[in-house]
Amino acid sequence: MVSAIWERDSLDWKGISAEEITNRVLKNVRSGSIVLFHNAAIHTPEALPGIIEALQRDGYTIVPVSELLLQGETTIDSAGRQWKK
């Protein structure tokens, strides 16, 4: 079993606007980020297309979490980053 921990929270669950979600995510994302979104958050569907387009324009590739996870013996640090042991 493997656990995945997000390290960037969109805070979409707080009911913030799509613009606030977009700004928060784009300001805080970095290579390898796992961003937390909630499927029941009201403005997430409105925010996602712009977030994805902006990230792709900036050279990011959107991948499933399974492609980010390292295989074998690993540890997760306090920032949520996975490292080989």
Half-sphere exposure of residue 60: CA atoms within 13 angstroms, side-chain side? 18
The neighbour count for residue 21, using CB atoms within 10 Å, is 23
Q: What angle do CA 20, 33, 78 make, to 5 degrees?
A: 105
> What angle in degrees, to the nearest 10, is found between the helix axes of 18-28 and 44-57?
30
Note the pLDDT tens digit of each residue in 51-66.
Answer: 999 999 999 999 888 8
- Residues spanned by the domain of 74: 8-84
Sign of the alpha-carbon dihedral angle for 5, 54, 39, 62: negative
Note the pLDDT tens digit of each residue in 11-36.
Answer: 999 999 999 999 999 998 988 888 99
Asked, for residue 28, whether it belongs to a domain, the answer is: yes
CATH code: domain of residue 17: 3.20.20.370
Percent of the chain exceeding pLDDT 70 equals: 95
Question: What predicted TM-score, i.e. pTM, was given to this entire model?
Answer: 0.78
Q: Which residue has the higher pLDDT, 14 or 70?
A: 14
Q: In the chain, how many domains are there?
A: 1
